[in-house]
Structure 1
């Protein structure tokens, strides 16, 4: 898993769960206007990124 995950509205919960389990920390969550969801390839709504 990269330090950044993009997620659509449908997959944000799954993305949060996966990020927390893999990185053992909470992500910086930002709203995005471009990119594709890491789970389904629809337009992404959120970016989850590791702090620091």
Structure 2
């Protein structure tokens, strides 16, 4: 599972596809969790969660 901002969502999707060889599930993070969750690439607030299942 990768948390990403709008700018890095494409990188997160590519990472999941490369690692798991399957199309990832893309979920928008709820407003409650946005403040405490950072993008794994730049530390800006995360907007999406990209997962392999």
TM-score normalized by structure 1?
A: 0.82
Counterpart of 1:23 in structure 2 is: 20
TM-score scaled by length of structure 2: 0.81
Of structures 1 and 2, the larger Rg is shown by 2
CA-CA distance at 1:23 after TM superposition: 1.0
- Where in structure 1 are there 5+ consecutive unaligned residues? none
* Higher relative contact order (Cα pairs below 8 Å, separated by 6+ residues): 2
More helix by share: 2
Partner of 1:49: 51
Unmatched tracts of structure 2, length 5 or more:
none
Q: How many residues align?
A: 48
What CA RMSD, in Å, does the superposition of the two structures yield over aligned residues?
Answer: 0.9
